[in-house]
Amino acid sequence: MMRTALIAWDYPPSPSGLSTAAREIAESLAEAGAEVTVFTADRAGETREGSIRIHGCRVEPSSGLGALRRWAGAGHLAAPLAIRRAVLTEHRRRPFAVVEATNWYAPAVLLARHVPLVTRNSTPAAYSRAPGGGLRDRLDGRFADRLERTQARRSIGLISNTADHARRIAAEYGLDPAVPHAVVGLSLPPATLRRGREARYPDGEAPVRALFVGRAEHRKGFDMILGAVAMLDAEARTGVLPAFRIDLAGVPPEDLPGDLAPAVRERLDPHGRVPEDRLAALYEGAHLVLAPSRYESFGLVYQEAIAFGRPTVACAVDASGSLFVGDTGAGPLARTDTAEALADAMRPLLADPGERRRVRENALRAAGRFTRETLGAETLALYEAALARQGRKG
């Protein structure tokens, strides 16, 4: 049995895409026969879920590492130092064959010289930062980017979620092409897939409800949504379009722009971060999903929307959106990353229940493409290839 460790920033029940991905990786490895210990920065103490041990590495604000966090740049080392201490304590007791970590803000950057490290690449931190910012923000960003690049370059193996993402990551981090780099798609929890299959579609219910899942940031296309809603609001008020509302999962009310027009604000229902059950209920109540990201490493939201059979509006700028939504017919693509293009893509789905039903059938046919079985098997195959190359080098 291969003994593995997985380093994550958070883990369920914490409601985030990284948390969901971490659990799927851990559960898939365990189901494939590996021994899995998760080290997560969102909690303290130890727990167990089935065969998986969960070791908390939270940095307490009152600790020395908590004080380090307040320093520009160097604050990014606080969590990696706590994680390094916890992982090496376990590794000395009984060695891990492989330790896997996300690339995002490089939680394992201080471990690469001590353990066989594999980095699984989600979206780099640089892709989510708002442009501009003060001197401190720029220094923080450059330091974080350097840490990510260092962790990736010191890894014995790499995993990316799509082929396009692998190419971008290799260029972003300047990776050695000789290091094994696998493309492995993420899975969804079996309970989510089952609930999606069983979900009733809200045909005939008014108003038409669209769902956005994510943060209110440029990369996620949130600015496009606000602009499109302003355009479509005028058409709904004159009766050209039916009444509609937008549920915002992951966006608290305080993240809405202060200068947002009242007519647009009235269309939006910001829910903040929501737990899994509440998110599933929002998918069940949605007539369509808005996912106009400019870039996704994989796009769990695409997969969740498709699992629930919800027509999904994505953006052609994002290769993952084109692959998972456009190519499967699970929804239209905004031709450019503009509010006008997004409004054009949304309009037929808002206006025509028959079009929503047609696209829904395509989404249902595309559901379930990625499973824990394939995720676990392909991840272990990458581990073995990386270890074999390391053995040959040694």
Looking at residue 179, its amino acid is: V
111-135 residue pLDDT tens = 999 999 999 999 898 887 776 677 7
> For the chain, how big is the Rg over CA atoms in Å?
22
Contact 375, 186 (CB under 8 A): yes
Encoded tokens for 139: 């220094």
Q: What beta strand segments (E) does 111-186 contain?
A: 117-121, 157-160, 181-183
How far, in Å, are 43, 190, 192, 247, 362 from residue 328 at the CA level? 39, 21, 20, 25, 7
What is the distance between the alpha carbons of residues 246 and 261, in angstroms, rounded to a whole number?
15
Number of Cα atoms under 13 Å in the Cβ half of residue 280: 17
Q: Where are the domains of the chain?
A: 3-187+371-393, 190-366
The H or E element spanning position 7 is: strand 3-8
1-34 residue pLDDT tens = 899 999 999 999 987 888 999 999 999 999 999 9
For residue 200, the 8-state DSSP code is P
Encoded tokens for 382: 């990458």
How far, in Å, are 138, 231, 264 from residue 261 at the CA level? 31, 12, 5
273-294 residue pLDDT tens = 999 999 999 999 999 999 999 9
Q: Is it true that 3-187+371-393 and 190-366 share their CATH fold?
A: yes
pLDDT over 70, % of the chain: 99
What is the distance between the alpha carbons of residues 84 and 302, in angstroms, rounded to a whole number?
34
Domain spanning 190-366 has what CATH number?
A: 3.40.50.2000
What is the distance between the alpha carbons of residues 242 and 273, in angstroms, rounded to a whole number?
28
CA atoms 192, 193, 195, 201: torsion sign: positive
Q: Is the pLDDT at 238 greater than 90, yes or no? A: yes
Q: Pairing relation of β-strands 35-40 and 3-8? A: parallel
Please, which residues bridge with residue 46 across strands? 55
**Average pLDDT of the segment spanning 170-174:** 96
Residue labelled with tokens 């960003």: 141
Q: What is the mean pLDDT of the chain?
A: 94
Indicate the fold that domain 3-187+371-393 takes in CATH.
Rossmann fold (3.40.50)
| Residue 138 vs residue 32, higher pLDDT | 32
Which of 72-76, 104-108, 301-305 is predicted least confidently?
A: 72-76
Confidence at residue 391, expressed as pLDDT on a 0 to 100 scale: 82
Looking at residue 380, its amino acid is: L
pLDDT confidence of 394, banded at 50, 70, 90? Answer: low
**Average pLDDT of the segment spanning 315-333:** 95
239-275 residue pLDDT tens = 999 999 999 999 999 999 999 999 999 999 999 999 9
